[in-house]
Structure 1
Amino acid sequence: MNAYIFPGQGAQFTGMGLDLYENSSEAQELFEKANKILDFNITDIMFEGTAEALKETKVTQPAIFLHSVILAKSLGDSFKPEMVAGHSLGEFSALVASGALTFEDGLRLVSKRALAMQKACEMQPSTMAAVLGLEDKVVEDICAQTKGIVVAANYNCPGQLVISGEIEAVNRACEALKEAGARRALVLPVGGAFHSPMMEPAREELAAAIENTVFSKPNCPIYQNVTASAVIDEAEIKRNLISQLTAPVRWTQSVQQMIADGASLFTEVGPGKVLQGLVKKIDREAQVAGASFEKQA
C-alpha cells in the first residue's frame, strides 16, 4: 500500500517552492491565493528570503504546508494515497492532501496555529531538547520525576525522543538523562515547548477555529499523531487535531501501525528528507521515496 507522509517544522529551506511556481500554472495560482489569504507575500520569503526570515513561526508553518500541499497537487494522477500521516504541522498537509480539508481552510488553520503557538511561547519562556540513545520508558520516567513541567513530546524513532517544557525543568531533565546513559541530551534552538502543557493557551485558541471549520471524510485513513491509529471519522479527526498541540507526536508508533496495516512504500511530500530517514530507523526494511513533480509542457 502507498503511504504518503508530510514533514513538520524544521524542514524549510531558502528558495523552497520556486521550482513549483515556475513550472506549474496550478501551483502559481495556489501560491497567489495563499498570499491573499495570509495578507502578506509569503512567496517572496519562500523564494528569495533569508534562512532567518523563514524561521519565523508565522512564516515557517504556512511555508512548509504550502510546499507540501502544492507539491501533492502537482503530482496529478500519480498521487493515489492509500494512507497518509504528517509529523506535527504535517498533519494539516496530510488532511488537505486526503480531501478532509480544503486548501483554503487548511492554510487558515495553519496560520492561526502558528500565531497561537507564537503567542503561547511569548507568554512563558520554554524550550525543547533532543534525547538520543535511551529507551522511551526511561525518558518518560525521568521527565515524570523532574521538578517542573517537562514531558516527552516527539517520539521520532527508537532511541530518539524530544522532550518539552519549562526551561529549568528541561535543563534538569537533560542532566538526569545524561546520568542515565543518554548519548546526547541537547537543548534545541526552538521558540518554545511545543506538544506540552505549555501550549494550552494555543490549544484553546486553535480549538475554536477547528470547531468552526468544515471537515469532510478523507478519501483514505489518516494516522494521527495523538492516537497513532487510522482515522476516517470527521469528528474524531477534529478532536485529535485539537489535542495535538499539548499531546506528544507519536511518529514511531504511527509508522509501525501503518506498516502493520500494509504500508509498503512511504513517500515524503514536502521539503527535505527527514521523515524518510526516520521511517528507515523505525523499520530498516521499509521502502521510502521523495515526491517529485512532472514539469508541465
Structure 2
Amino acid sequence: MTAYVFPGQGAQFPGMAKDLYESSPEIKDLLESANDILGFRITDIMFDGTPEQLKETKVTQPAIFLHSVALAKTSDSFKPDMVAGHSLGEFSALVASGYLSFEDGLKLVSQRAMAMQKACEANPSTMAAVLGLEDDVVENICASIDEVVVAANYNCPGQLVISGSHKGIEIACEKAKEAGARRALPLPVGGAFHSPLMEPAREELEKAIDATTFNQGVCPIYQNVTAKASTDIEEIKENLKVQLTAPVKWTQSVQAMVADGATNFVESGPGKVLQGLVKKIHRPAEVSSI
C-alpha cells in the first residue's frame, strides 16, 4: 500500500515551485488563483523572495501548502491508500485526498498562520530539538520543570522537539544534556507551536474550521493528534481543532500506517525531510518524492 505524506514548516526554500509553475499550465492556474484568494502575490515571494521573506509565517505556511498540493493535484500517479501530514502538512493532506476544497484549505492555512503569528507576538516563546534520548526521558524532564514546556513533535526515535516558554526551554535543554542527550538546541522558530501557549490561535482556528465545509475523502488520513486512521468528518474536524495545542505524533503515525499495510511512502512537497524521518522510523519502508 502507498502512503502519501506532506511536509510542514521548515521545508520552504527560495525558488520553490517555480519550475512547476513554468512547466505546467494547470499548476500556473492553481497558483495564480492562490494569489487572488490570499490578496497578495505569494508566488513572487516563493520564486524570487529571500530566505527571510519566506520565513514570515503568513508566507511560509501557504507557500509549503501550495507547493505540496500542486504536486499532488497534477500527478497522474497520485492514488493514495492513506495520507498524513506533519503539522501544517495535515491541511495539504486533507486537500489532496478530497476532504477539503483547494480554496477552503488555503483559506484555513492562511488563517492558521495569522492566528499563530498573533499568539507568538502575545506570548514570546520557542522550541528546541532534543536528540539522542528516549521519549519518556524527555517527557519526564518537561514535567519536572515549573514552566510551560511540553513534548511537541515526536519526529522519529531519538528526535523529539519540545515547545514552551524561553526559560522553560532553556532549563529543559540543560537537563536534557545532563541526562545524556546528544544535542539539545533551540530552533529558529517564532513561538511555542503545539503547546498550551497556542491556545489563542486554537480558539481562532476552531471558529474557522466550524465555518468550513468538509467532504468525504478518497482514503483514510492519519492525524497528528491521534496517530490513527480516520475517515469520519466530524472526528477529523475535532482532531484538526486541537492540533495547534497538541503534540505531532509523527513517529506513531508512521508506525500505524506501516501496521495497516503501508510499504511505500511518497513525499509530496518541497524537500525530503519526511522521507528521512520515515526511514528512521521504519527502515524497510520504500521512500520517494512525487
Q: Could you state the TM-score of these two structures normalised by the residue count of structure 2?
A: 0.99
DSSP 3-state at the match of 1:245: helix
Partner Cα separation in structure 2 for residue 218 and residue 107 of structure 1: 17
DSSP 3-state at the match of 1:72: helix
DSSP 3-state at the match of 1:52: helix
Q: What residue is the counterpart of 1:14 in the other structure? A: 14
Question: Shift in Å at residue 63 of structure 1?
Answer: 0.1
Q: What residue is the counterpart of 2:172 in the other structure? A: 173
Q: What residue is the counterpart of 1:71 in the other structure? A: 71
Q: What residue is the counterpart of 2:47 in the other structure? A: 47
Question: Shift in Å at residue 124 of structure 1?
Answer: 1.0
Partner Cα separation in structure 2 for residue 134 and residue 109 of structure 1: 35
Q: What residue is the counterpart of 2:259 in the other structure? A: 260
Question: Shift in Å at residue 275 of structure 1?
Answer: 0.1
Partner Cα separation in structure 2 for residue 272 and residue 230 of structure 1: 25
Q: What residue is the counterpart of 1:239 in the other structure? A: 238
Question: Shift in Å at residue 74 of structure 1?
Answer: 1.4
Aligned ranges 1:211-222 → 2 under 5 Å: 211-222=210-221
Question: Shift in Å at residue 137 of structure 1?
Answer: 0.3
Q: What residue is the counterpart of 2:185 in the other structure? A: 186
Task: State the Cα deviation string for residues 6-44 of structure 1 (Å, max 9, x = none).
Answer: 000000011001111111111011111000000000000
The one-letter code matched in structure 2 to 1:85 is: A
Q: Say whether 1:281 aligns with 2:280.
A: yes
Q: What residue is the counterpart of 1:25 in the other structure? A: 25
Question: Shift in Å at residue 138 of structure 1?
Answer: 0.4
Aligned ranges 1:141-156 → 2 under 5 Å: 141-156=140-155
The one-letter code matched in structure 1 to 2:217 is: P
Partner Cα separation in structure 2 for residue 286 and residue 231 of structure 1: 22
Question: Shift in Å at residue 83 of structure 1?
Answer: 0.2
DSSP 3-state at the match of 1:244: helix
Partner Cα separation in structure 2 for residue 220 and residue 235 of structure 1: 15
Q: What residue is the counterpart of 1:295 in the other structure? A: none
Partner Cα separation in structure 2 for residue 189 and residue 34 of structure 1: 27
Q: What residue is the counterpart of 2:200 in the other structure? A: 201
Task: State the Cα deviation string for residues 195-247 of structure 1 (Å, max 9, x = none).
Answer: 00000000000000001100011110000000000000000000000010000
The one-letter code matched in structure 1 to 2:130 is: V
Q: Which runs of 5+ in 1 are unaligned?
A: 292-297
The one-letter code matched in structure 1 to 2:243 is: Q
Partner Cα separation in structure 1 for residue 85 and residue 204 of structure 2: 21
DSSP 3-state at the match of 2:136: helix
Partner Cα separation in structure 2 for residue 50 and residue 257 of structure 1: 38
Q: What residue is the counterpart of 2:271 in the other structure? A: 272
The one-letter code matched in structure 2 to 1:31 is: L
DSSP 3-state at the match of 1:186: strand
The one-letter code matched in structure 1 to 2:34 is: A
Partner Cα separation in structure 2 for residue 264 and residue 290 of structure 1: 14
DSSP 3-state at the match of 2:245: coil
**Identical-residue share of aligned pairs (%):** 73
Partner Cα separation in structure 2 for residue 44 and residue 232 of structure 1: 36
The one-letter code matched in structure 2 to 1:215 is: F
DSSP 3-state at the match of 2:276: helix
Q: What residue is the counterpart of 1:99 in the other structure? A: 98
Partner Cα separation in structure 2 for residue 237 and residue 100 of structure 1: 9
Question: Shift in Å at residue 51 of structure 1?
Answer: 0.8
Question: Shift in Å at residue 69 of structure 1?
Answer: 0.2
Question: Shift in Å at residue 46 of structure 1?
Answer: 0.4
The one-letter code matched in structure 1 to 2:109 is: V
Runs of 4+ off more than 4 Å: none
Question: Shift in Å at residue 260 of structure 1?
Answer: 0.2
The one-letter code matched in structure 1 to 2:234 is: A
DSSP 3-state at the match of 2:244: coil
Q: Say whether 1:61 aligns with 2:70.
A: no
Partner Cα separation in structure 1 for residue 28 and residue 234 of structure 2: 33
Q: Could you state the TM-score of these two structures normalised by the residue count of structure 1?
A: 0.97
The one-letter code matched in structure 1 to 2:90 is: E
